[in-house]
Amino acid sequence: MKPRNKTLGYLLPVFALCVFMLVIYGAYVPHKPAEIQRVVCIKFKAGTTNEDVEKHLRDFASMKNAVKDVVAYSAGHVQKLEGSENQFDVIHYLTFRTKEGAAQYAANADRKQFVKANEANWDNVLEMNSNIEK
């Protein structure tokens, strides 16, 4: 057997073992749980077009990538209930790993720019943070 093949014969099982160990490590190491949920409810002014609302949703969704501590994001339109008036049109849900992450989101320059660009279409805004209890 040539020396090159012998070296490769030894390194291949070592490499396979390292890959296996990394997979096991990633599967069993507990991740830090998320602590804070932020809910952002928005009521649009009368006359705001559906295109403006959809642009708002797209822009908000892309903004989450600018904040590194956002663990999860989802959003949707408020479902209209028969016989009741909805106070809001759209709800955004953001999940943060820490309180500090939620505070950084509130101070984020991209968020402030988003608010400045869209607040002319908003009639009412409600933002709340809550603890995530397991």
> What are 28-71's pLDDT values in tens digits?
666 667 889 999 999 999 998 999 999 999 999 988 887 778 88
Q: Let me know whether 98 and 113 are in one domain.
A: yes
Q: Let me know whether 102 and 71 are in one domain.
A: yes
Token pair, residue 87, equals: 């106070």
Token pair, residue 81, equals: 């209930």
Q: Let me know whether 17 and 81 are in one domain.
A: no
Whole-prediction pTM value? 0.73
pLDDT at 132 over 80: yes
Average pLDDT of the chain is: 86
Q: Let me know whether 2 and 47 are in one domain.
A: no
pLDDT at 73 over 80: yes
Task: Indicate which CATH number applies to the domain containing 122.
Answer: 3.30.70.100
Spatial CA neighbour of 41 closest among 129, 124, 130: 124
On whether the CB atoms of residues 66 and 108 are closer than 8 A, the answer is yes
Q: Let me know whether 71 and 91 are in one domain.
A: yes
Across residues 81-108, what is the average pLDDT?
A: 87
| Structure-token match 């012998």, residue found | 6
pLDDT at 1 over 60: no
Per the structure, how many domains does the chain have?
Answer: 2
The pLDDT value recorded for residue 30 is 65
Across residues 66-95, what is the average pLDDT?
A: 86
